[in-house]
Chains A and B, each alone.
Chain A
Amino acid sequence: AQSVTQPDIHITVSEGASLELRCNYSYGATPYLFWYVQSPGQGLQLLLKYFSGDTLVQGIKGFEAEFKRSQSSFNLRKPSVHWSDAAEYFCAVKQTSYDKVIFGPGTSLSVIP
């Protein structure tokens, strides 16, 4: 069965430090991959997506992600974290049939001033 894992439940970084959030998926075919961000008590907002082509994709708010087929990974990165980046981050995979999106359990990010 298709699944998405995010190994880190919670990460704390200092403001200005770099960030990498991990995401691994299990899926036989070419995946369609997404990263979403959620502020407390709010809905989710799309940060970036990968469908094909260049394996390094740029998103909003200075985020980027790299697709590595050999590792079944789609890790999210940011060179310098801002306090406003504190939120919950979800990796997601879209099935190629039935239009379903499967979400990982999320990684909660805290930022120390």
Chain B
Amino acid sequence: GAVVSQHPSRVICKSGTSVKIECRSLDFQATTMFWYRQFPKQSLMLMATSNEGSKATYEQGVEKDKFLINHASLTLSTLTVTSAHPEDSSFYICSASGGAGGSYEQYFGPGTRLTVT
């Protein structure tokens, strides 16, 4: 099956610094990638949808200047949390969709645990 990886799996950073999380589709070309955030004991909340070569579409309430998303190639999307604060501590999960990009063809990465101290 299709494999999506994320790097790093865990990261701890100091308040005010920026952190970059990578999401890669390893064996297929992902025309669309999605970023989700999950707080402890809660569900996944969609943050943004990114299509290769174009600007990401952010969900309401998600600051695009704080969560920078780049989808420069068909196998890589990055999420940069800028000027991170403790409240940004969360589990970030990406998913990738290939081909027609229908929502039922999404493959999820293993997630990145971000802790901001």
Do A and B pair up? The answer is no
